């Protein structure tokens, strides 16, 4: 049985959604954040990277959303929700699988710069971050105007990874998408999915830990 170690209001909601889409059984173990919003010590001890999400599968302990998604889909679901190298949309799948980390890196840089960095280098970096973020999200919206999902006509792990950036991550300063009509429509399509609704009910930003 897969155990999902779920840190409240975190990227681990993705793995719950993935498991619901795949129809696979799992145990969900909740961890509440500290008053300062950081992860508790028992969660940090799960994996050397001390990041959510984390899963356990027997003796295997895995972190990193993309790694977990590929592992689960190939090991337990026959490759469902992934795209094979011989398929024509494989390159799109790869790109959007990595989009989240690129966007997250820009957000962290923007946050660091806004915290008080100044001078010519900081000014240049601020402009680079602003330009790249605008380009990333413009491309995202364009893509979603051409296809219902990021890798093409069907939901894949790429969507599982990116949707968090357009929804829950807004609580942590991610770029809003109000000016991106195709992205807004995409999120509404995702929110209508039964598996997504169930996952958010038990592990989304407004979910509460089950009573013991």
Stretch 3-16: mean pLDDT: 96
Rg of the chain over all Cα atoms, to the nearest angstrom: 18
CB atoms within 10 A of CB 202: 16
Q: What is the pLDDT of residue 74?
A: 98
Give the separation between CA 54 and CA 7, rounded to whole angstroms: 9
Task: Give per-residue burial for 161-176: e unless 16+ CB within 10 Å, then b.
Answer: bbbbbbbbbeeeebbe
SS (H, E, C) 127-188: HHHHHHHHHHHHHHHHHHHHCCECCECCCCHHHHHHHHHHCHHHHHCCCCCCCCHHHHHHHH
**pLDDT-derived band at 132, boundaries 50, 70, 90:** confident
**pLDDT-derived band at 109, boundaries 50, 70, 90:** low
Residue 120 predicted with pLDDT over 80: no
Q: What is the pLDDT of residue 118?
A: 60
Stretch 151-171: mean pLDDT: 96
Q: What is the pLDDT of residue 106?
A: 56
Q: What is the pLDDT of residue 50?
A: 84
**pLDDT-derived band at 105, boundaries 50, 70, 90:** low
Question: Please, which residues have CB within 8 angstroms of residue 188's CB and are 6 or more apart in sequence?
Answer: none
**pLDDT-derived band at 99, boundaries 50, 70, 90:** confident
Do the beta carbons of residue 27 and residue 2 sit within 8 Å?
A: yes
**pLDDT-derived band at 161, boundaries 50, 70, 90:** very high
CB atoms within 10 A of CB 184: 14
Helix (H, G, I), strand (E, B) or coil at 56: strand
Stretch 53-71: mean pLDDT: 96
Give the separation between CA 20 and CA 25, rounded to whole angstroms: 8
């Amino acid at each position: 049985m897969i155990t999902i170690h779920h840190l409240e209001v975190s990227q681990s909601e993705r793995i719950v959604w993935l498991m619901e889409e795949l129809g696979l059984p799992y145990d969900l173990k909740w961890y509440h954040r500290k008053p300062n919003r950081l992860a508790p010590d028992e969660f940090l001890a799960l994996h050397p990277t001390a990041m959510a999400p984390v899963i356990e599968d027997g003796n295997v302990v895995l972190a990193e959303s993309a790694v977990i998604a590929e592992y689960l889909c190939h090991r337990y679901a026959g490759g469902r929700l992934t795209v094979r190298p011989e398929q024509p949309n494989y390159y799109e799948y790869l790109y959007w699988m990595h989009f989240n980390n690129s966007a997250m890196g820009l957000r962290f840089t923007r946050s660091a710069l806004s915290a008080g960095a100044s001078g010519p280098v900081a000014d240049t970096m601020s402009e680079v971050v602003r330009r790249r973020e605008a380009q990333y999200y413009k491309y995202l919206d364009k893509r979603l105007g051409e296809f219902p999902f990021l890798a093409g006509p069907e939901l894949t792990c790429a969507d599982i990874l990116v949707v968090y950036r357009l929804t829950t991550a807004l609580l942590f300063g991610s770029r809003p998408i109000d000016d991106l009509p195709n992205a807004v429509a995409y999120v509404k399509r995702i929110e209508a999915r039964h598996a997504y609704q169930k996952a958010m009910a038990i592990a989304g930003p407004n979910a509460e830990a089950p009573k013991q």
